[in-house]
Amino acid sequence: MALRQPLLHDLTVTLAAPTVCLAGTDGQIRAVGVQGVLRGDVRVLSEAVVTVGGEEPEPVAHAADGAGAEHAVGLLRGLGDSGPDPTVWLRRDRRVRADGVDETFALVNRSGRAVDTEVVLRVAADLAPVETFRAGRPTTAAVAEPTADGVRWSGGDVTVTLAAPGAEPDAGGRLRWPVHVPARSTTTLRTSLSVTDPGAVVGPAALRLARPDVHAYDPRLARLLHRALDDLDALLLTESGHPDDPFAAAGAPWFSTLFGRDSLWTATLLLPVDVRLAAGTLRTLARSQGTRDDPATGEQPGKIMHERRRAAAEYAGMSLPALYYGTIDATPLWICLLRDARRHGLPDAEVRALLPHLHAALGWIRDSSDRDGDGFAEYFDDSGRGLANQGWKDSGDAVRFADGSVAEGPVALCEVQGYVHEALRAGAELLEAFDDGDPAPWRARAAALESLFRARFWVDGVDGGAFPALALDGAKTPVDSLTSNIGHLLGTGLLSPQEENAIGGRLLEPDMASGFGLRTMSARDGGYSPLSYHCGSVWPHDTAVVVRGLLRSGQAGRAAALGVALLDTADGFDSRLPELLAGFGADEVGTPVPYPASCRPQAWAAAAAAGLLTALLGLYVDVPGGVLRLAPPSPSPVGALRVRGLAVAGGTLDVDLDRDGRVTHVAAPAGMRVELG
């Protein structure tokens, strides 16, 4: 039987990075698929199934208590009174810590007589690396060593201890509690899982993001933002030895580590909420900026990395080193974030400290991004063992022509040219602001790219309209599919206002805008499938990036119209936006359809909530220029909106909008000039 990646959509996910717990809605952790407790890249508990009197509780309720806690209730109808009403049940409460998991098992007896029974918790750990069970490969249980009050497992650098006070461990991996529960009373049992892992490359962060107070006539906005910030707090990490530089792990469970592109976009979308995450992300990535040419890892001088793991990993035919640089876009995105963070109030001293890394990143664009000298940034996997595609759509079949055929590299993606163009101008702006080099060559390079792009990338669609191709393939043939990638060009300066308006209108047509967000590929294209990872699915962060571009290009109404679709999407996922969802349209299904292997929470999907709030306010911030602009869409898609405590310029911004989108109240930090419209 072929190996299959385990599905995630029907599991509960609780976390406090770098620890993640995946369980059933009955609270049980079963020895199947991806269920278990993961810390970093290692599964430290692979089974935790409770029985009472030899039977599993019958599940009747489950609820999340924030990002890091959950509880489940199950009936025990074989115990207690004999009538039709259940009188004995078990409540299981789980709280995830950065270094483990605490659980309580409350056996509740509301019957008229005492209950004498046995509670048994069957546990196991396989200490398997994440890429093993992600690929569906079988694992082997580690040997459990009994301790004074529980069990312990160890392997490599990892030691896992499960304390179960009062339990009697047996050789079969079971913890047994004989219990006596008097009539109308409760007996509570506890376990505590703790992990020590001196070889971990990431650890928890102390930062907790600022929490603006948001109220709207549509209450879903506040629910989405609250859940998103809760999840983002639970995803924050630091590198070992650098506790003051937080960044967002990409997502749970597959990507609970540093990813250059993901962490950069997350910090970018969160700038109006908390600039401190951008500062930590910029510094963390700067520390591993490339210094040499290494085809095995993709490292090049000035290049920003793609992914950091505790060890090299093999997955899906790839062999990736522990520190991997296979990304074409993280470097320009780092430059853009540095400029944007300064605009949102990152102190000049912190920006100045990063200027040497800015020079190195600009040097990478000039010297290494254009491998064939045609003026465009392109990628190719020289190692033969890494990612074939190195943009954000990095699956092997993501770059397809309109007829569905797969393009061959080297590939020059359209949105990467936009990122590079903006990075060149952003870098020039910073060099000029700090008098740290000549900005003219970088602006000239951006102008040249603009002309080249207009001449080579535009194609005619089947409906007669023109739009930018997804990419140029290795033969410099335009890859003529219509994709969400072109929305990333908006606001980068690469397009004229007329071109941006045309793209904005095209992306909101029904073949692209599904009603639950933006499809990654037009439903009219030959490669489209709603359950394709990158060729027809909907990624909330992708939608948020395009919403941001629409706003930056002066299309506030379209930005809001596209963005509020995320509220309907969130309704289908308990207000927790997933990494991606299937591309079925709201005209096809009554509720959004999960992509079954999607991570959740995913950092940049959660950050999409902040991107939506920014669009609803029409917010633009330039702290060095002393300007704060509000240009909300009219009418407001969420009705009257009240925001308190947005972090700006070392102070806070308060805004009230009425249902027509008119600003009725503003309180801005001292020294900031507010412009409306």
298 and 315 share a domain? yes
318 and 395 share a domain? yes
Q: Count the domains in the chain.
A: 2
**pLDDT at site 318:** 83
Confidence class for position 665, pLDDT limits 50, 70, 90: very high
156 and 289 share a domain? no
Flag the least confident range among 115-124, 127-136, 275-284, 514-523: 127-136
Residue 257 in any domain: the answer is: yes
Domain span at 123: 12-196
Instruction: Look up residue 84 and give its two tokens.
Output: 């039709």
63 and 123 share a domain? yes
Amino acid at site 275? V
Per residue in 467-480, pLDDT (tens digit) is 999 999 999 999 99
Amino acid at site 426? A
Query: Taking residues 657-674, what's their average pLDDT?
Result: 96
Task: Compute φ and ψ for 290, nearest 5 degrees.
Answer: -60, 150
Flag the least confident range among 35-39, 81-85, 116-120, 219-223: 81-85
Q: How far apart are CA 282 and CA 264, in angstroms?
A: 8
Residue-averaged pLDDT of the chain: 96
**pLDDT at site 1:** 61
Confidence class for position 67, pLDDT limits 50, 70, 90: very high
Whose structure tokens read 């599964």?
A: 43
Helix ranges, 368-439 (H): 414-433
Over 70: is that where the pLDDT of 43 sits? yes
143 and 221 share a domain? no
Over 70: is that where the pLDDT of 632 sits? yes
Chain-centroid distance of CA 221 in Å reads: 19
Q: How far apart are CA 501 and CA 677, in angstroms?
A: 18
**pLDDT at site 311:** 86
Residue 120 in any domain: the answer is: yes
Helix ranges, 161-208 (H): none
Query: Taking residues 132-153, what's their average pLDDT?
Result: 91
Residue 330 three-state SS: helix
**pLDDT at site 98:** 97
Confidence class for position 657, pLDDT limits 50, 70, 90: very high
279 and 408 share a domain? yes
Residue 142 in any domain: the answer is: yes
Residue 236 in any domain: the answer is: yes
- Listed in sequence order, the residues at least 6 apart from 142 whose beta carbon sits closer than 8 Å to its beta carbon are 124, 125, 126, 127, 153, 154, 155
pTM of structure: 0.96
What percent of the chain has pLDDT above 90? Answer: 91
**pLDDT at site 389:** 96
Q: How far apart are CA 350 and CA 145, in angstroms?
A: 49
Query: Taking residues 271-282, what's their average pLDDT?
Result: 97
Residue 570 in any domain: the answer is: no
Q: Show which of 173, 196, 219 is a domain's final residue.
A: 196
The CATH number of whichever domain residue 622 belongs to comes to 1.50.10
Q: Show which of 165, 196, 227 is a domain's final residue.
A: 196
Q: How far apart are CA 22 and CA 34, in angstroms?
A: 7
Residue 595 in any domain: the answer is: no
**Is 204 in contact with 225 (CB distance < 8 Å)?**
no
Residue 515 in any domain: the answer is: no
Confidence class for position 465, pLDDT limits 50, 70, 90: confident
Determine the straight-line distance between the first and last CA of the chain, rounded to whole angstroms.
Answer: 61
Query: Taking residues 253-259, what's their average pLDDT?
Result: 94
Residue 384 in any domain: the answer is: yes
305 and 332 share a domain? yes
Chain-centroid distance of CA 130 in Å reads: 17
Long-range contacts of 240-246 (CB under 8 A, 24+ apart): 240/200, 240/201, 240/202, 240/203, 242/283, 242/284, 242/287, 243/203, 243/205, 243/206, 244/280, 245/279, 245/280, 245/281, 245/283, 245/284, 246/205, 246/206, 246/207, 246/276, 246/277, 246/280, 246/281
225 and 296 share a domain? yes
**pLDDT at site 462:** 74
Query: Taking residues 424-433, what's their average pLDDT?
Result: 98
549-580 b/e (C-beta count within 10 Å ≥ 16 → b)? bbbbbbbbbbbbbbbbbbbbbbebbebbbbbb
Maximum C-alpha span of the chain: 86
Per residue in 483-504, pLDDT (tens digit) is 999 999 999 999 999 999 999 9
172 and 277 share a domain? no
State the burial class of residue 303 (Cβ atoms within 10 Å of its Cβ: 0-12, 13-18, 19+).
buried
Q: How far apart are CA 137 and CA 252, in angstroms?
A: 19
> Could you please report the per-residue DSSP string of 607-646?
HHHHHHHHHHHTEEEETTTTEEEE---SS-TTSSEEEEEE
Confidence class for position 543, pLDDT limits 50, 70, 90: very high
Q: Show which of 161, 176, 196 is a domain's final residue.
A: 196
What are the Cα distances from residue 111, in Å, to 76, 81, 89?
A: 12, 6, 10
218 and 159 share a domain? no
Amino acid at site 626? G
419 and 276 share a domain? yes
> Could you please report the per-residue DSSP string of 535-581?
TT-B-HHHHHHHHHHHHHTT-HHHHHHHHTHHHHHHHTTTT---S-B
What are the Cα distances from residue 473, in Å, to 399, 480, 496, 523, 575?
A: 9, 10, 24, 22, 39
277 and 352 share a domain? yes
What percent of the chain has pLDDT above 70? Answer: 100
Per residue in 601-625, pLDDT (tens digit) is 999 999 999 999 999 999 999 999 9
616-639 b/e (C-beta count within 10 Å ≥ 16 → b)? bbbbbbbbeeeebebbbbbebbbb
Residues in the chain: 677
**pLDDT at site 677:** 84
Beta pairing, strands 458-460 & 412-413: unpaired
The CATH number of whichever domain residue 46 belongs to comes to 2.70.98.40
